[in-house]
């Protein structure tokens, strides 16, 4: 069921018609009292009934709202334009907000791609773009948004690892929140289109390991950080040692055989890579 416009005219024109009907009913009633003409009282009753009927067609639509109209169970249409209107009388009206809404999900405990239990929550920004679908296709579109958002979040969280320890190019929940947010947004757009809801944005707002494994995973992250730092230190030390030996050879400061070069490389690497400060040993004699 799609949104369509219902017949309507300006409410001020409707107000003028109501005044005319009220005036006509009052006039014919007075004429009945004065003349006791039965036709006058019939006219007064008819005009009064028309007044009540027309009055039931008066409606007011607030900014960023839509009203969905049904008549005896039949869908007639929607008014999205704000203002004062006269429309089909005796209709049932359902008000739907067209404002942008936020939904903050609860913290959900799910398993990531590697089976690790994690806690995750998201914020979903959405609005209604088809008020007829929002009213007739689902029981309650806000509850539908909440349920489908949490379902979509569980689905997306299980498709990615929490962290990419082994492959820096692999998408992970922690390091690629923008990419994961886009995937979540597209997934929710498909899920919520049936309710006439457009998802503007969906983003992860909370992400953490579950309490039972948080300590172990923290140690793993710390160990990985130490290894990464060591790798950088070793690469820098190798570059410095290579540069020192090449410079000594080019400038002819000292001639070193392979054994002395190896010893020099060993000493320099120990000095550069060691966590603690090294104690220099001064050789006052020949290096041979």
**pLDDT digits 0-9 by tens, 76-98:** 999 999 999 999 999 999 999 99
192-223 tens-digit pLDDT: 999 999 999 999 998 888 776 656 667 666 66
- Could you report the per-residue pLDDT of 110-148, keeping only the tens digit for each? 988 888 888 999 999 999 999 999 999 999 999 999 999
What would you report as the CA-atom Rg of the chain, rounded to the nearest whole angstrom?
A: 39
Q: How far apart are CA 55 and CA 261, in angstroms?
A: 103
> Mean per-residue pLDDT for 150-161?
91
For 101-209, the fitting CATH number among 3.30.479.30, 1.10.3720.10, 3.40.605.10, 3.90.1150.10 is 3.30.479.30
**pLDDT computed for residue 94 by the predictor:** 93
Can you read off the two tokens belonging to residue 214? 């948080």
Average pLDDT along the chain: 84
Q: If you count them, how many residues does the chain have?
A: 288
Which segment of 60-74, 105-119, 182-196 scores lowest on mean pLDDT? 105-119
The residue ranking higher by pLDDT, 37 or 270, is 37
Cα first-last separation, the chain: 95
Percent residues over pLDDT 70 in the chain: 81
Mean pLDDT of 145-164: 90
List phi, psi (to 5°) of 77: 160, -165
What's the rounded mean pLDDT across residues 27-56? 87
């Amino acid at each position: 069921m799609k949104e369509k416009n219902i017949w309507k005219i300006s409410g001020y024109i409707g107000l003028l018609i109501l005044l005319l009907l009220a005036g006509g009913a009052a006039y014919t009633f007075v004429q009945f009292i004065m003349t006791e003409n039965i036709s006058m009282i019939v006219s007064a009753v008819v005009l009064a009934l028309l007044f009540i009927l027309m009055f039931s067609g008066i409606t007011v639509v607030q900014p960023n709202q839509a009203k969905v109209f049904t008549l005896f169970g039949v869908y007639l249409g929607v008014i999205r334009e704000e203002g004062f209107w006269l429309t089909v009388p005796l209709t049932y009206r359902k008000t739907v907000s067209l404002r942008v809404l936020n939904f903050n999900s609860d913290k959900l405990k799910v398993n990531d791609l590697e089976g690790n239990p994690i806690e995750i929550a998201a914020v979903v920004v959405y609005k209604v773009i088809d008020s007829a679908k929002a009213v007739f296709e689902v029981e309650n579109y806000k509850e539908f948004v909440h349920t489908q958002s949490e379902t979509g979040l569980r689905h997306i969280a299980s498709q990615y690892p929490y962290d990419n320890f082994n492959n820096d190019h692999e998408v992970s929940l922690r390091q690629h929140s923008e990419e994961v947010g886009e995937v979540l947004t597209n997934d929710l757009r498909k899920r919520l289109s049936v309710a006439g809801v457009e998802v503007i944005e969906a983003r992860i707002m909370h992400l953490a390991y579950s309490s039972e494994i948080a300590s172990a995973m923290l140690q793993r992250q710390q160990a990985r950080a130490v290894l990464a730092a060591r790798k950088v230190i070793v690469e820098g030390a190798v570059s410095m040692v290579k540069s020192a030996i090449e410079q000594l050879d080019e400038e002819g400061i000292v001639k070193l055989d392979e054994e002395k070069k190896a010893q020099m490389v060993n000493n320099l690497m120990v000095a550069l890579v060691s966590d603690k400060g090294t104690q220099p040993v001064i050789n006052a004699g020949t290096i041979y």
